[in-house]
Structure 1
Amino acid sequence: MDYITMEKKVQQEEVQPFYLLQGEESYMIQDIQQKIIGKALAEGEKEFNLSTFDMRETPIEIAVEEAETLPFFGERRVIVLKNCYFLTGAREKEKVEHKIEALETYARQPNPTTVLILSAPYEKLDARKKVVKEIKKQAVVLEAAAAGEETMKKWMQQFNQAHQLVMSREVMDRFIALAGKDLLMLAEEAKKLQLYTGSGEVTMETVDKLVPRSLEDNVFELVAAVVKGQAKTMLRIYYDLLKQGEEPIKILALLARQIRIIYHVKNLKQQGYSRKRMAGSIKIHPYAVQLAEKPAAAFSHAYLQEAMKLLSATDYQMKAGKMDKQLALELCFMKLVSGQKIGQ
């Protein structure tokens, strides 16, 4: 089941004796794991009834033996098995030898006084393996795939409700676009917002002030400056990036990518694609599509095609050493601004 469903299940229902947390979204796995532990054990019980084993260091049969023992002065014990790599099809040089049949046997009849949590932070498990089949028959399974836009929005809505924060739709979209590289980053930045705001309304100004911008975010601002014909703003952003140690070739590559996105958005919009469908087709965040729609409307096809040629030529000049990299990119920016006026 997905993260949001699993979170509700853990909060609303009795703790189950067997869980499999699988996927590459580390925040989801850690968050659900902590919620299960918190539901199963009181704080004072954790010292005696919570055990964690790293499967890269401990044989599985030792962990299973621990899971089969009764809790100490409590109703339950919780056993966490980290890095269950043996559930995947990957061939790794094993430091320890696992008797997998011990886990297979346990999976058929889990100890009702133990909560066993298997953590497998990998994209896929080997469904052909007998142990995987047995576990999936008995365990409650979290599929911790990379969080999409809807998952992040639901998470933010729950976070805002829990901390009495108010966000408009536009502010939430902006926040997710800046902080939603993954759910871990989103959670960390949301906590910063909450500490700064306390409770009440979160404004666009607060988001822009607190959430750090990536290089790609700054490239969006460069494109916005081109749309408005603001050469000074564009150069200011460029010089700030240079001061931060960003390489001109890297800036150029991201700018070229953004121009290509705008070109695709313009074409797809003319074909009647929705924003969500465009995002799926180009494989980018829907908010990135939203940001690209304004320049897509402002730029002509002819201008975008010429801009891509100019960026390609600048890339060649820089890599061939025909011109100083910083100067080449600065001249490219100036041509983009002047060309934008001509291309309308």
Structure 2
Amino acid sequence: MDYKTAVKQIDKGQFAPVYVCYGSESYLIRELINRLTDKLALPEHKAFAVSRYDLTETPVEAVIEEAETLPFMVPNKVVVANNALFLTGAKENGKVEHKLDRLTDYLKTPVDFSIIVFTVDADKLDERKKIVKALKEANALIPCTALSADELAHWVNQEADKADISLAPGVAEQLILYTGTNLQALAQELEKCALYIGRGGTITSADLEQLVTRSIEQNIFQLIEHIVQVELDQAFTLLNELLRRKEEPIKIVMLIARQFRIMFQVKDLMQQGYSQQQIAGQIGLHPYGVKIAAGQAVKFELKRLAHILQQLGDLDYQMKSGKIDKVLGLEMFLLKLAS
């Protein structure tokens, strides 16, 4: 079952007895659990409706026993069991022994007053395992992995709608560029925007400039974007701002090199026929980062990108060996790059 289908069913009051939420996007997992508890219990009864266990410390049979125990003061309850590493290929430390046959039997005859949610921070489960196959047959597996670039922008706009604010054209993409792709961080920035603009208001690009504090990584994205678009004034203004904030020039060079390395990899793989989604998996980057890198790499030939990486390597050596002033070397590199 995919995440969207699971959420739609929960919103309609249709619940599965067992869910397995796996993947690196912990925000989506928390959202699904919150939707379940919101549907099953009044706010004042939530403390009685949710039980939480850590499967690195508690055997799975104890989770099953909790699920089979009648709820107190509420008609239904949610049993959350985190760190279900026995569903993956990861090696467990052996501290807890799980009787997985107990879970297999439970899947055949689950109780109707409890919902079990297993969570595990892993992009893949080990489908060779008997228990994973049983959970798959029960349609309990829900991947909570990174959203695609288009899905991420759509998600930002959806969250803005929930907060009763609007985003001016291009602002969703600008927010992602400034904040990064972490859903929790994006949700917090949207909450800040909603408090600033008020219900029914519209957040503009200028508002974001005031409200969002960019990390150095996001500033490097923006710095390179200015260079690609031959916006030298903005590029040097941003560089001076980074230096004013006492960012180390060698660190700036390292991050610029990282972004150009990504651009090189993305362009090379795209020329080989890979899709952006496939490239994201290949190089271990969020799909939105691949989309940004692909757009920036359009302005460069592959040989040019390789030459720039060589220049950055030389600049790094000259800075560290004291053969050039760090700030001067960085400024000269940006001027050469723009020309």
Gaps of 5+ in 2: none
Describe the superposition over 1:268-315 as per-residue Cα deviations: whole angstroms up to 9, x where unpaired.
99x8x9xx956865864424444555xx2xx78997676455333212
Per the alignment, do residues 289 and 70 of structure 1 end up closer, same or farther by CA in structure 2, a change over 3 Å counting? Answer: same
For residue 5 of structure 2, what is the aligned residue in structure 1?
5
Give the deviation of 1:25 after TM superposition.
0.6
Q: Is the 8 A contact 1:4 1:155 kept in 2?
A: no
**What is the aligned partner in structure 2 of residue 16 from structure 1?**
16
- 1:17 deviates by 1.8
Name whichever of 86-95 and 178-187 sits farther off: 178-187
The equivalent of 2:194 in structure 1 is: 194
Matched, 1:247 2:248: yes
The AA in structure 2 aligned to 1:210 is L
> Does structure 2 retain, via aligned residues, the 8 Å contact 1:108–1:134?
no
Secondary structure of 2:95's counterpart equals: coil
Bigger Rg, structure 1 or 2: 1
Indicate conservation of the 8 Å contact 1:261/1:292, yes or no. Answer: no
TM norm structure 1: 0.81
Supply the RMSD in Å over aligned alpha carbons: 3.3
Measured in 1, the distance between the counterparts of 2:324 and 2:130 equals 61
Are 2:40 and 1:35 aligned? Answer: no
SS of the aligned residue for 1:92 comes to coil
- Helix, strand or coil for the counterpart of 2:20? strand
Q: Tell me the residue number matched to 1:316.
A: 317
Q: Distance in 1 between matches of 2:276 and 2:62?
A: 51
Secondary structure of residue in 2 paired with 1:116:
strand
In structure 2, the CA distance between the partners of 1:127 and 1:75, relative to structure 1 (3 Å rule), is same
State the SS of the aligned residue for 1:173.
helix
Matched, 1:50 2:60: no
| Paired letter, 2:211 | L
**CA separation of 1:57/1:336 partners in 2, compared to 1, >3 Å: closer, same or farther?**
same
1:286 pairs with one of 274, 283, 291: 291
Matched-pair identity in %: 35
Kindly report which structure 2 residues correspond to 1:53-64, keeping only aligned pairs within 5 A, or say none.
53-64=53-64
Q: In structure 2, what is the Cα distance between the partners aligned to 1:154 and 1:230?
A: 29
Distance 1:184 1:212 in 2: 15
3-state secondary structure, aligned to 1:119: strand
Are 2:183 and 1:183 aligned? yes
- TM-score, normalised by the number of residues in structure 2: 0.82
The 2-side partners of 1:53 and 1:37 are apart by 16
SS in 2 for 1:89: coil
Q: Does the aligned pair in 2 maintain the 1:15–1:39 contact within 8 Å? A: no
Decide which moves more: 78-87 or 158-167.
158-167
Distance 2:181 2:224 in 1: 21
Q: State which drifts further: 230-239 or 206-215.
A: 230-239
**Counterpart-to-counterpart distance in 1, 2:308 and 2:184:** 36
Q: Secondary structure at the match of 2:170?
A: helix
Task: Using the TM superposition, name which of 204-213 and 244-253 deviates more.
Answer: 244-253
Cα pair 1:64 1:106 within 8 Å, conserved? yes
Per-residue displacement from partner, 1:119-170 (whole Å, max 9, x unpaired)? Answer: 1222222112222222222253321011222222332232233233222442
Structure 1 position 265, deviation (Å): 8.4
Q: 1:206 to 1:257 in 2, by over 3 A?
A: same
Q: Which residue of 2 aligns with 1:207?
A: 208
Aligned residues, how many? 330
Task: Tell me the amino acid that sits aligned with residue 316 of structure 1.
Answer: Y
